[in-house]
Structure 1
């Protein structure tokens, strides 16, 4: 599993430990769902103003959010079908507001690394087609998130 991680913000100190949390969770998800080794994902760490802009553009929500996922294998009505020839399985992009993650970690009373790990797991599952629109979908996604967080020792 390949991952490109870019820290695009300067409001919160971004550490090597955070980078390691992101990679560890990505690899845990890859192992859990048996992703092929040629799978790639990108993670961009941003601040609230950046993610608010994306949230407005793509979801018409004019407020910051914690994580957004942009799946490459999920086609909307107006999106062209690209054939990558099977060499690389590109999952897509995850955008995480580290600023919002810090706020939420304080609200929930756990570490910023735990919140960051959870947001990576949540974003990865969205890239894989999981959602939480119905109660059954929400239960399934929460169960997978719990398994991932347990496997990387970032439980509540």
Structure 2
């Protein structure tokens, strides 16, 4: 049985179109997981960053994406969040200034497991996790119910789709 993620759209006015047209982002992708990354994800990553900037009305200067193994994400989660277990994505900001700069770690194996569990394809799950990590860099979180709703709304607006769960 599929349960649809319930989103309550919050009225946030769209950003002025000209503000983000020529936005330059220093973006790097490093795959140290040993797994394959869909070519479409590599092609869309910069476009996703521009879309996030437009939707959130916040700019990035530098985003580094590192795709890692299960053991690496577990170690990072243990050291920085004191949770010695596997997670899907971790985000770290370089500084607290605008435009935002930071590093995102995604566990490729966990992304594959989640894609299967959520009944989506691997590329869509990677895009979702990338957007989720970027929103964390910009200060969004999902600890409180209201904050979760705001973050899910932003994810939906960036991706143009929700997430289905089994």
Indicate yes or no: 2:73 matched with 1:56.
no
Residue 61 of structure 1 and its aligned partner are, at CA, apart by 0.9
Give the 3-state SS of the residue equivalent to 1:114 in structure 2. Answer: helix
Residue pair 2:92, 2:137 contacting (<8 A) in 1 also: yes
Classify 1:90/1:135 alpha carbon distance in 2 versus 1 (closer, same or farther; 3 Å).
closer
**Root mean square deviation, CA, Å:** 1.9
The alignment's TM-score, normalised by the length of structure 1, stands at: 0.81
Within 5 Å, give how 1:5-154 maps onto structure 2: 5-10=29-34, 12-36=35-59, 39-74=61-96, 89-150=99-160
Question: Partners in 1 of 2:147 and 2:38 — Cα distance?
Answer: 33
Q: Deviations over 1:108-154 (max 9, x none)?
A: 0000011000001100110000111111000000000000111xxx6
Question: Between Structure 1 and Structure 2, how many residues are aligned?
Answer: 139
Task: List structure 1 runs of 4+ shifted beyond 3 angstroms.
Answer: none
Q: Distance in 1 between matches of 2:146 and 2:138?
A: 17
Contact 2:27 2:63 in 1 (8 A): yes
- Structure 1 unmatched runs, 5+: 75-83
Distance 2:58 2:146 in 1: 24
What is residue 78 of structure 1 aligned with on the other side?
Answer: none
Deviation at 1:27, TM superposition (A): 2.2
Distance 2:44 2:85 in 1: 26
Please tell me whether the aligned partners of residues 100 and 138 of structure 2 are also in contact (alpha carbons under 8 angstroms).
no
Q: 1:86-120 deviations in whole A, cap 9, x for unaligned?
A: 8xx45210000111000000000000011000001
- Give, in whole Å, the separation in 2 of the partners of 1:23 and 1:106: 25
Matched residues in 1 for 2:126 and 2:71: separation? 18
**Runs of 5+ in structure 2 lacking a partner?**
1-24
